[in-house]
Every structure is written in structure tokens, then in C-alpha cells.
């Protein structure tokens, strides 16, 4: 059975690129446009891994990760942060919010798939 990946990014182009890379690798993809939408999608989806951006309208990636981690049902889902940000402070803040890993945009599709396979049990 293929793994389900939830991608949360406000950029349609980035969502499309993620969908292509992940579907090509055999994953099922569910998508959300920002943190608020991501938490709504989580109510009906059971993703194996979540990939989220940090900078988004309505609710950023930090708030989204905190929301995911505050729900016992979703607490254990690995979360990969995919962002243009690379400062140590932002990485630490993301870890504190619940991030499992960090990938800088633009992403290499194979490295993304490898990261997903590493964190998805």
C-alpha cells in the first residue's frame, strides 16, 4: 500500500511540483493551501508524512505543526519542513514546534523521496 503524503504550501507551483515528484515516486498525495487548511484536511486524511512550508498566510508552518502536535491522534506523524529559510534560529523554532526534518527549496525530488522514506516507518 502506498504511503499518503500531506503537502501544505501556499504556492500552487510548489504544490504542483511536490505532487509530480511524489506521485512519480509512488506516493498518494493530499494537499492543503496553508496551515488552517492543513488542519482541516487532517480531519479526513491519515497521512504517513506531512511536508509543510513555513511562510504562509492565515496560519504559518509553526502554528500548523503546533496544531498537529497538540492532537494525540496526529502527534506521531513525521513532519518535514520544506522552505527557503535556512537560519539556525528558524530550524530550532521548527524543531520546537514539532518538525522531524528540514529541506531547503528548491528541492531535489530524489532527496525529498529519500527523506520521506527515512522518516516514514
Q: What is the strand order of the sheet 49-52 is part of?
A: 28-32, 4-8, 49-52, 79-83, 101-104
Q: Please check the confidence at residue 40 and state whether its pLDDT lies above 90.
A: yes
Would you say 29 and 23 are in contact if contact means Cβ atoms under 8 Å apart? yes
Kindly state the average pLDDT of the residues 17-23. 97
Q: What is the pLDDT of residue 121?
A: 67
CATH number of the CATH domain containing 32:
3.40.50.2300
Number of domains in the chain: 1
Kindly state the average pLDDT of the residues 37-50. 96
β-pairing, 49-52 vs 79-83, is parallel
Distance of CA 19 to the CA centre of its chain: 12
CA distance linking residue 8 with residue 39, whole number of Å? 10
% of the chain with per-residue pLDDT over 70:
98
Q: What is the pLDDT of residue 85?
A: 83
Q: What is the pLDDT of residues 62-94, one digit of tens each?
A: 999 999 999 999 999 999 999 988 899 999 999
Instruction: Give the DSSP H/E element, type plus range, for residue 30.
Output: strand 28-32
Structural domain boundaries enclosing 12:
4-119
Kindly state the average pLDDT of the residues 58-64. 96
Amino acid at each position: 500500500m502506498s504511503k499518503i503524503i500531506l503537502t501544505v504550501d501556499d504556492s500552487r507551483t510548489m504544490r504542483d511540483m511536490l505532487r509530480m515528484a511524489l506521485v512519480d515516486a509512488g506516493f498518494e498525495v493530499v494537499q492543503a493551501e496553508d496551515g488552517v487548511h492543513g488542519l482541516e484536511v487532517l480531519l479526513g486524511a491519515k497521512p504517513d508524512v506531512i511536508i509543510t512550508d513555513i511562510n504562509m498566510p492565515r496560519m504559518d508552518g509553526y502554528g500548523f505543526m503546533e496544531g498537529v502536535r497538540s492532537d494525540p491522534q496526529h502527534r506521531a506523524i513525521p513532519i518535514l519542513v520544506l522552505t527557503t529559510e535556512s537560519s539556525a534560529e528558524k530550524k530550532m523554532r521548527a524543531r520546537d514546534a514539532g518538525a522531524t526534518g528540514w529541506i531547503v527549496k528548491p528541492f531535489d525530488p530524489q532527496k525529498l523521496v529519500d527523506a520521506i522514506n527515512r522518516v516514514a516507518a
